[in-house]
Structure formats: C-alpha cells, structure tokens
Amino acid sequence: MSESFMRYLDRRLDDWGRWYREGNWYGLGYPSCTAEHRMRVEGIISRCTGPGSIPWNEEAEEIEALVVEMATYGKDMAAALRQQYFGYGSLSRRAASIGISYAQFRICIGMARHWLAGRMSAFGERR
C-alpha cells in the first residue's frame, strides 16, 4: 500500500474513533442502547421547524462495518483496533484489557491496518 493511502486510512480510523467516543451510537458498534430507544426516550431536538435528522457519518459507518467483518477472521485484530481507537489509558492497559501482551497488541494493530487497507482497496477506494 502506498504511504498516502495509509495516511488516508489513519485519518479514517481517527474519525471513526472520534465519532464513536463522542457518543454518536446511531447503529455504530455496540451501543448501550438502540437508536430507536434513544429517539423514543430523548427524541430528536432540532432548532428548525422542519423534520429532524439523525446524525450520520457514512465513513465511520463504513469502517465499523469492516471492523465487524474483520472480527469474523481475526477477533484479536478487531478487539485491538477497538481498544486503540475507543479505549483509554496506556497501550499496556489496553492490551491487558483484551488479554494480550503489549507486543501482540502492537502486532494486531499493524495487521488490522493492513487488513483494512487491503479490504478498502478491494472496494475500489482510491484517495
């Protein structure tokens, strides 16, 4: 993979992590409640009088779908990627939280990034 594509992938992963950490759980990952429950309980608050819309981040949703697919092939890779972008604390703590060593955690992150790059290039992603 080219260096520019890997930078693009890293930006996408950062956006995915930020989207999830900010609490935008509308179908992304493993939320504490469903989007339907949030709409029923919280409603959609909008300043305009027209119909409201649910916040949407198509690129983050695409990465999430790929990570879910990745988990079927390499559970440790997907878990490490989630810890890398959603977790808090040192890398050692993140690794321990999924039951692997720090060295294995770093290897899993590298493998996950390359798996995503290959999968995205199979979709024809060219940025």
Where along the chain do its domains lie?
Answer: 3-22+57-122
> pLDDT value at position 22?
77
Reply yes or no on whether the pLDDT at 71 is more than 70: yes
pLDDT per residue as tens digits for the range 108-117: 999 999 999 9
Q: 124 — alpha (psi -120 to 50), left (phi > 0) or beta?
A: left
Helix, strand, coil shares, percent, the chain, to 5: 65, 0, 35
At 72, phi and psi to the nearest 5? -75, -25
pLDDT per residue as tens digits for the range 5-51: 999 999 999 999 998 887 655 444 445 555 565 566 666 654 555 55
Reply yes or no on whether the pLDDT at 118 is more than 50: yes
In whole angstroms, what is the distance from residue 106 CA to residue 101 CA?
9
Reply yes or no on whether the pLDDT at 102 is more than 70: yes
pTM recorded for the entire structure:
0.71
**What percent of the chain is predicted at pLDDT more than 70?**
69
What's the whole-number mean pLDDT along residues 57-81? Answer: 92
What's the whole-number mean pLDDT along residues 72-101? Answer: 93
